[in-house]
Structure 1
Amino acid sequence: MNPMPNGTARIAVVTGAGRGIGLAIVRALAEDGFAVVAGSRTVTDALKDATPDAVAVDLATPDGPERLVRHAIDRHGGIDLLVNNVAGTSTPAGGFLQLQDEAWLHTFNLTLMSAVRATRAALPSLLDRRGAVVNISSVNARLPQPRLVAQSAAKAALSNLGKALAEEFGARGLRVNTISPGPVWTDVWTSPGGPGDTLARRQDIAPEDLTDRLPAAVGVPTGRFADPEEIAALVVLLASGRVANMSGSDLVIDGGMLRTL
């Protein structure tokens, strides 16, 4: 354990924690000594193994993020770290003209408004404990793609929100930073009907060749996707205080995709 100076454990809240990047973040923070309150619509067995404090919650609802934060404060007395990771996307086959208001609202509620609501609820405790917020954005905030038009717009707003919060509350001891991953090797890419499956069929990539050929197909110069654990490692670094004067930053981990921007 890596407790606070007074001997109490540090408390982290992680949204969208059931799988992928969120689950990797929960595991990494727990290993670093945090007591982690993990919010997910579905509490998976893997999440239960990662933390004893997993909460089933719909973070797209107006009261979901606040209920998660209130649970953490009631149980642990405060919050030292908030990781806004949950996101939603709508990718209809017909593109932009098939994306109706309901899909836009769902994407923005889950990606942006969940972070707004969770941060607003956690802010008094975070300020009292001079804590930190880490928002998980995306390279698509600066590299929009037609198939991710709603998510790209929501992630751009999330990145902007982080910088605004860092400016407003930095003098009061709150650090707010953003991590913007490029493609990350999760089941989003390997599941049937997902983007990996779609790209593989479009470019005639055999399933057994997906790992080797997909990064080049989407333009990743390093030839590999990031692992979820790499994103989690950045969260642990930002939460640690070892870079205590870093606030308002946007750390891109995309294998070099943004090299020309």
Structure 2
Amino acid sequence: MDLQLSGRVAVVTGASKGIGLAVARTLAEEGAHVVAVSRTPSDALADAKVTHVAADLMDPAAPARVVARAVEEFGGLDIVVNNAGGPPPGTTLPRAGFMTPDDADWAAMFEFNLFAAVRMIRAAVPHLLERGGGSIVNVSSTMARQPSAVNVDYGAAKAAVLALSKSLSAEYAPQGIRVNTVTPGAVLTDWWTKEGGAAEVFAGMVGSDRDSVLTEVAPTMMGLATGRLVHVQEIADTVALLASPRSGSTTGAEFVIDGGQLKEI
């Protein structure tokens, strides 16, 4: 299926690894001009037709610089994928309990997961309107839908992303800008697999080992009907479809990709 993305200009944040890397590569393969945003470039993008822009999204001025670079490089902007999120730089998740994060932890979590997206959208909207519309895809988390005593601040920030997407879709749909949310569950990324990552932290909590957490403990604890963590390409394919004009009547929607974790109606 032709997604009609050839020649369109996309900004993808958090594009050096995991979901963002898969999204950037997928959009580029579909013919889009991709501005891949991350603090450092990724060797995994070396063979992809993307333009890397180094930016620390904890800097309030960074989103405007990124959008300006995309417009300067390619003459406009059609797609924004706010994927950057998770633990802010220097933070290790998971962490248990409401009393664990302090004010600074809460502020950093919202800065990285919510305000960076707010600023990126604020910078992008005028350029999307100049093109007659476009697509914004925000990445949330099932922790926004199924809060727990683990990662309380993260879940709250991602719930705010859901609310933001709904509000934006209502305001800008008449002007041709579609805003949707992709809500991943547990995705097999570096966040889980790296040394000292979530799998090792969980292993220490439950008295298991890293590999068992990835293949058995986490899928069982989280109630994943598929019995496995989600693959990044499964997220990227959904983002690409939402970015496409072929989803022209889809806005204000949330696409949950979680291996069957969320079961409520």
Per the normalisation by structure 1, the TM-score is 0.92
* Counterpart Cα distance in 1 of 2:246 and 2:32: 16
Q: Is the 8 A contact 1:212 1:224 kept in 2?
A: yes
- Of residues 250, 253, 256 in structure 1, which corresponds to 2:257? 253
Cα deviation for residue 143 of structure 1 reads 0.9
- Of residues 195, 198, 204 in structure 1, which corresponds to 2:198? 195
User: Could you tell me which residue of structure 2 aligns to residue 84 of structure 1?
Assistant: 82
2:133 maps to 1:165: no
* Counterpart Cα distance in 1 of 2:239 and 2:167: 19
**Aligned residue type for 1:146:** A
* Counterpart Cα distance in 2 of 1:93 and 1:240: 37
User: Could you tell me which residue of structure 2 aligns to residue 33 of structure 1?
Assistant: 31
Unaligned runs of 5+ in 2: none
| SS, match of residue 195 in structure 2 | coil
* Counterpart Cα distance in 2 of 1:102 and 1:207: 30
Cα deviation for residue 147 of structure 1 reads 2.3
2:107 maps to 1:105: yes
User: Could you tell me which residue of structure 2 aligns to residue 42 of structure 1?
Assistant: 40
Per mean C-alpha deviation after superposition, the further-off stretch among 55-64 and 201-210 is 201-210
2:7 maps to 1:9: yes
Tell me which of the two structures has the higher relative contact order, counting C-alpha pairs closer than 8 angstroms and 6 or more residues apart. 2
Per-residue CA shift, 1:114-136, capped at 9, x if unaligned?
11101111101112221110001
Q: Is the 8 A contact 2:28 2:50 kept in 1?
A: no
Q: Is the 8 A contact 2:63 2:120 kept in 1?
A: yes
Cα deviation for residue 208 of structure 1 reads 4.2
Q: 1:223 to 1:108 in 2, by over 3 A?
A: same
Per the normalisation by structure 2, the TM-score is 0.91
User: Could you tell me which residue of structure 1 aligns to residue 126 of structure 2?
Assistant: 124
Cα deviation for residue 240 of structure 1 reads 1.4
**Aligned residue type for 1:126:** L
Q: 1:78 to 1:139 in 2, by over 3 A?
A: same
Per-residue CA shift, 1:63-82, capped at 9, x if unaligned?
01111111101111111100
User: Could you tell me which residue of structure 1 aligns to residue 233 of structure 2?
Assistant: 229
Unaligned runs of 5+ in 1: none
State the identity %: 45
| SS, match of residue 98 in structure 1 | coil
Cα deviation for residue 137 of structure 1 reads 0.7
Q: 1:128 to 1:52 in 2, by over 3 A?
A: same
* Counterpart Cα distance in 1 of 2:159 and 2:213: 29
Per-residue CA shift, 1:200-255, capped at 9, x if unaligned?
34334444444431311332122011101011000111111222101000111111
2:149 maps to 1:146: yes
1:176-195 residue pairs with structure 2 within 5 A? 176-195=179-198
Per mean C-alpha deviation after superposition, the further-off stretch among 161-170 and 82-91 is 82-91
Per-residue CA shift, 1:162-184, capped at 9, x if unaligned?
11000001001111100000000
2:223 maps to 1:219: yes
Per-residue CA shift, 1:76-115, capped at 9, x if unaligned?
1111100001114254856332312221111111111111
Q: 1:231 to 1:94 in 2, by over 3 A?
A: closer
Q: Alpha carbon RMSD of aligned pairs, Å?
A: 2.0
